[in-house]
Structure 1
């Protein structure tokens, strides 16, 4: 089972940039099931970039993976250091439901990068 935080404006599509996202949707996903655990508020504003990124990472700290439309190299590095795997959506407005189905197929026969996450 993995926990994935989706950056979304509407809870339906992956349509937010990591640093600008005000709500992350946290799902628990395994090969057969996917459940929305909670919506995580990440709407506080910070002037300093490092403060903003640390706050966003703290908001998604329960996740094993984050799924976003965009993430800068500095943010991606900070996310990885925090033990969270960053993923970029294939397209703007990719449906969360479609991503979950694709992840479930991968979980059934996981590639090495996903095995590392599953073994955490």
Structure 2
């Protein structure tokens, strides 16, 4: 099972920027099932950008993937360095449930980036 953290304002759509996200929805997903593991409050404010980004990375709780509408290059590098794969939604109306279902389909014949995550 892999863990995906979604940046969302409503728990339904992927509609939040990584650095501004006040709540992450963390799901576990495998080929047959997906389930909400937990909601994580990430609303704490930090003055320094690096402190803010480190806090956001801690908030996603070692997820394998973080799914957002936007993520800056510095944040994306820090996320990758922490062992999480950053992904951007195609639009702000993209539903978390649709992403989970398409991830399940990808697991049947995973692309290289997903294969690396599955083999962790």
**TM-score band w.r.t. shorter chain:** over 0.9
Query: 1:109: how far off?
Result: 1.0
- What is aligned with 1:87? 87
- 1:93 shift after superposition: 2.2
Q: Does 1:104 align with 2:104?
A: yes
Cα separation, 1, equivalents of 2:32 and 2:114: 16
Using the alignment, how far apart are the partners of 1:12 and 1:62 within structure 2? 22
Q: CA deviation at 1:32?
A: 1.0
Which structure 2 segments of 5+ residues have no match?
none
Q: What is the TM-score normalised by the length of structure 1? A: 0.98
Q: Deviations over 1:48-89 (max 9, x none)?
A: 100000000011132000000000000000000000000000
State the alpha-carbon separation in 2 of the partners of residues 79 and 119 from structure 1.
19
> How many residues align structurally?
120
Moved over 3 A (4+): none
SS at 2:37 equivalent: strand
Q: After TM superposition, list the pairs within 5 Å mapping 1:1-120 onto structure 2.
A: 1-120=1-120
- Is residue 28–residue 35 contact of structure 2 (8 Å, CA) maintained in 1? yes
Provide the rounded CA distance (Å) in 2 between the counterparts of 1:94 and 1:81: 26
Contact 2:5 2:26 in 1 (8 A): yes
What's the secondary structure of 2:66's corresponding residue? strand
Superposition RMSD on alpha carbons, in Å?
Answer: 0.6
